Amino acid sequence: MSPKHIDTVPEFMEITKKDGKKEKISRRAVAPYNFVELPDRVVEAEDLPSGDRYHLNRHTGRIECTLTTESPLYIRCGLTTEEFQDPKKEAKDLPDFFYTDPKSKSEKPVIPGSSLRGMLRTLIEIASFGKIDRVSDEHRLFFRAVASNPEKESWGKEYKTYVEPKKVKAGYLKKDSEGWYIQPAKTEQGATFAWVRETSLKLPDFKKFNDDKYELRYISVSYGSVAVDNTDRAKRLFAHNVELPDTYPKKGVVVTSGNMKQGNEPSPRRNHCVVFDESNSTSPKQRLDDKAIEHYRNALTDFQKSSPFNKDWGVLEENRPVFYCPPEKGKNIVGFFGQSPNFRIPYSPEGNGHATTVIDFIPKDLRQLDSIDLADAIFGWVKKESKDDKLPQGFDKQRAGRVFVTDALYHCAQNRIWYENSPLTPQILSGPKPTCFPHYLVQSEEDNSDAQPSKLKHYASQPVEETVIRGHKLYWHKGSNPNFKLKKVIGSTKPVSGTQTTLINPVNKGVTFKFDIYFENLSKVELGALLWVLDIARDNRYRLKLGMGKPLGLGAVKIEYKLYESDLQKRYTKLFGDNSNNWETGETLKENPDYQQCFESYIVQQFNYSGDFNNLCRIQMLLAMLSWPGPENTEKATRYMEIERDIAKHHIGKPVKQNDKTINEYKDRPVLPNPLDVMGITLTCDRPSPSSPSSSITQETKLFVEGQEIEAKVVDIQVQEGKKLKTTITYEIQGSDCLAKEDVYKRTIYLDINDIVKVSIVKAKGESIRTVKLIQ
């Protein structure tokens, strides 16, 4: 069983500072999202039917759905040909809601079937304990907090293991036919570089940290001497008399760095670095690890892509100064390097400079490429192989689904269709930040029940063994009137960038759409999974989420449905229905279907679990995330935390000083509670053992009973003519250890060998079906 998240995250914890004083820090984070925990094993689908016919022991039909928006909803439309060809047009500035007919787009919004299908598939994947396979392995993870305290914070200790000031060296980048390597700088007093105070630099036209046009630069210089500054808290080596290159015999390069300015606040930085001249060392070349270079380039920040760096290679340029952690004794491969002494390093559990990815923190048995779960079985799949993950010989790389969702067409509105008469600008949303490990990684109840910063797991922790990702990410509901419009902050001097904003034209709450879900050859379990989700969608205690702006509370929808099953023999043996004006569809309204119970029973049997399906922790967390209208105190409990939170507002963090106006809510790394904890529900749910189903359950599913209807294949037909016409039909039935027979008297049978028909069991014992009767 993989690590599980803390049951109840405390509001605060007390820590002791170096001076012996006590201080309270917040341990409980808030966010508009949360996670349904990972399954402990994947529940695989039943055997799949052949796709060349309708199977009489399976279910085909239609689900008629009525969708009503419970909060504003927005789904952006694609670009027209003219808009796509116009270089000035950007999708984010085109506010039209999705439509299919340009002439009626202002009157008839459309919800695309692909959006509905994706929503249903995601929820079925969660509810059916499906695998986790749509996770990118391309985004490499790097430390963001390079100045963390190693005594108080677990990730700070990990960072200082590799970037401890006394270990960092400087040199110059070189390249030959074998790749990149570092030529070390000369050594003075045991160091290859020294610090220099900005105030002591004597260079013409030098832009200082707080100048408006400050820029990063590499400047060739000379210097008079270096010495340890005993007044410096870290007792660092400083260079003195740093001037133009021809002034002194000692040569080097000044490396300036980011000024760390925040808005109009002055920069806190005061020092630069001088990298000493190249050494003449002929010892074995210290080569950069090729994989570490690949991962470094993959994770370049905007800062590392801007001048004077290369947008594709960052600091990697021949003869450029570079800082690095020297390899262990006896080795010559460098894995950690960067443009400054406190350079970003990858989260590298192996300690070799190879960056980890989110996918490393998903147990392998939950992401097997050849595993077919219920979501795959129902909606189909396209398998994407990689160099490390190949499909077995003969495995289908793709398979069509057996569920088809139409577009949802506008039907009516309680008030008006559109939220406002003109497009509006919503609050600014950025991409997800998985590097925020107190939110995205499991903090184990067993190891750290009170969420201490010194014990937090991070991406340099051992994947799977110590921590895993939190699970499926979903967003909280925020009631029917969420606050999602962008507001101008009175008194703020910070301009809002046009590249960050967008225009949208959402439909109002209370707007009704109609769509159909067609299904073919579904088993009772598969149809039950689909209906289980739709039952949740019509239950007044829950709502589903659809479209854009989910973190802002947009997209809450209710779905009501009617199930129609098709009698295929009736449909294809008659042209017209009872009313000769209508075609025969063979459809029958199915009232109070019980397929949902078949689905629930199938899941709990896989875990040898005798309890209630809805009492499984994973299901309770899913239901908590779908709960309507959301947690209490929604605006406080489901907002994004802020780096500069106004202390006059409710905030997350330790008590503030008297003159503080804002607080950084992320500073102490508060932990995001699980969904049940957010809802104030004590975690009493069950997590059954991930063992495989017992043999008794497997055996029980193979037993046949009299009166059971089942599909059979005709393998032989014998006709005896005489006073009594007798036809003996022999059937092959999957799962039966013998052939079944039926004798038909005094009537002609219109069957052929290899026909698939539906029969009723007349006589059976265990796994043997002896006699059956054809269902006409």
What's phi and psi for 129, nearest 5 deg? Answer: 60, 50
pLDDT of residue 254: 94
Helices and strands (H, E) in the chain, number of each type? 14, 33
Asked if the model's pLDDT at residue 683 lies above 90, the reply is: no
Asked if the model's pLDDT at residue 696 lies above 50, the reply is: no
Higher-confidence residue of 584 and 254: namely 254
Nearest-angstrom CA–CA distance, 535 and 599: 13
Task: Write out the two tokens for 436.
Answer: 């925020």
Higher-confidence residue of 144 and 73: namely 73
Band (694; pLDDT cuts 50, 70, 90): very low
Higher-confidence residue of 656 and 563: namely 563
Angle between helices 113-127 and 524-538 (to 10 degrees): 110
pLDDT of residue 24: 84
Asked if the model's pLDDT at residue 409 lies above 80, the reply is: yes
Q: Residues of the chain with pLDDT > 70: what percent?
A: 93
24 strand-pairing partners: 14
Residues 574-583, mean pLDDT to the nearest whole number: 78
Angle between helices 113-127 and 617-626 (to 10 degrees): 150
Nearest-angstrom CA–CA distance, 204 and 221: 12
Residues 490-496, mean pLDDT to the nearest whole number: 54
Contacts of 688 (CB under 8 A, 6+ apart): 604, 607, 608, 609, 611, 616
Asked if the model's pLDDT at residue 434 lies above 50, the reply is: yes
Nearest-angstrom CA–CA distance, 441 and 444: 9
Q: CA gyration radius for the chain?
A: 33
pLDDT of residue 700: 37
Asked if the model's pLDDT at residue 334 lies above 50, the reply is: yes
Asked if the model's pLDDT at residue 492 lies above 70, the reply is: no
Q: Residue 568 carries which side chain, given as an amino acid letter?
A: L
In 3D, which of 379, 355, 502 has the Cα closest to residue 116?
A: 379
Nearest-angstrom CA–CA distance, 73 and 418: 9
Q: Following DSSP, what letter does each residue of 547-559 receive, concatenated? A: SS-GGGT--EEEE
Asked if the model's pLDDT at residue 699 lies above 60, the reply is: no
Report the range of poorest mean pLDDT among 183-192, 199-208, 259-268, 368-377. Answer: 259-268
Nearest-angstrom CA–CA distance, 98 and 505: 10
Asked if the model's pLDDT at residue 569 lies above 60, the reply is: yes
Band (72; pLDDT cuts 50, 70, 90): very high
Band (702; pLDDT cuts 50, 70, 90): very low
Contact 405, 517 (CB under 8 A): yes
Higher-confidence residue of 138 and 394: namely 394
pLDDT of residue 389: 80
Residues 586-607, mean pLDDT to the nearest whole number: 92
pLDDT of residue 705: 81
197 strand-pairing partners: 271
Residue with the two structure tokens 């689900």 = 63
pLDDT of residue 695: 36
Nearest-angstrom CA–CA distance, 387 and 385: 7
Band (36; pLDDT cuts 50, 70, 90): very high
pLDDT of residue 654: 64
Higher-confidence residue of 312 and 392: namely 312
Contact 258, 315 (CB under 8 A): no
pLDDT of residue 697: 34
Q: Following DSSP, what letter does each residue of 60-74 receive, concatenated? A: EEEEEEEEEESS-B-
Higher-confidence residue of 258 and 632: namely 632
pLDDT of residue 653: 67
Higher-confidence residue of 198 and 165: namely 198
Asked if the model's pLDDT at residue 776 lies above 80, the reply is: no
Report the range of poorest mean pLDDT among 30-39, 326-335, 521-530, 549-558. Answer: 326-335
Nearest-angstrom CA–CA distance, 566 and 580: 19
Residues 16-37, mean pLDDT to the nearest whole number: 87
Band (557; pLDDT cuts 50, 70, 90): very high
In 3D, which of 50, 46, 60, 76 has the Cα closest to residue 503?
A: 76
Could you read off the pLDDT of 347-373 as tens digits, one per residue? 888 877 888 888 899 999 999 989 999
pLDDT of residue 214: 75
Residue with the two structure tokens 């995601």 = 122
Residues 605-609, mean pLDDT to the nearest whole number: 91
239 strand-pairing partners: 226
pLDDT of residue 228: 93
Contacts of 749 (CB under 8 A, 6+ apart): 717, 727, 729, 774
pLDDT of residue 218: 92
Report the range of poorest mean pLDDT among 270-284, 609-623, 722-736. Answer: 722-736
Angle between helices 595-606 and 524-538 (to 10 degrees): 110
Report the range of poorest mean pLDDT among 391-400, 410-419, 557-566, 697-706. Answer: 697-706
Band (431; pLDDT cuts 50, 70, 90): confident
Nearest-angstrom CA–CA distance, 767 and 776: 25
Residues 556-565, mean pLDDT to the nearest whole number: 97
Higher-confidence residue of 34 and 308: namely 34
CA 728 to chain CA centroid, Å, is 58
Contacts of 674 (CB under 8 A, 6+ apart): 5, 6, 7, 34, 35, 37, 621, 683
Band (494; pLDDT cuts 50, 70, 90): low
Q: What angle (nearest 5°) sits at the alpha carbon of residue 699, between those of residues 698 and 704?
A: 120
In 3D, which of 363, 443, 439, 631 has the Cα closest to residue 7?
A: 443
Could you read off the pLDDT of 534-548 as tens digits, one per residue? 999 999 999 999 999
Could you read off the pLDDT of 751-771 as tens digits, one per residue? 888 888 888 998 887 777 888
Nearest-angstrom CA–CA distance, 48 and 42: 17
Residue with the two structure tokens 């923190």 = 361
Give the CA dihedral 329, 332, 336, 339, nearest 10 degrees: 120
How many residues does the structure list for the chain?
776
Contact 329, 336 (CB under 8 A): no
pLDDT of residue 342: 84
DSSP alpha helix (H) spans, 70-179: 81-85, 113-127, 154-162
Could you read off the pLDDT of 107-151 as tens digits, one per residue? 899 999 999 999 999 999 999 999 998 787 778 888 766 555 655
Could you read off the pLDDT of 153-185 as tens digits, one per residue? 666 777 777 777 788 999 999 999 999 999 999
Asked if the model's pLDDT at residue 489 lies above 60, the reply is: no
Q: What angle (nearest 5°) sits at the alpha carbon of residue 416, between those of residues 412 and 417?
A: 65
Considering the chain, what is the average pLDDT of its residues? 87
Higher-confidence residue of 716 and 559: namely 559
Band (655; pLDDT cuts 50, 70, 90): low
Q: How many CB atoms lie within 10 A of CB 46?
A: 14
Residues 83-94, mean pLDDT to the nearest whole number: 84
Contacts of 308 (CB under 8 A, 6+ apart): 215, 216, 217, 218
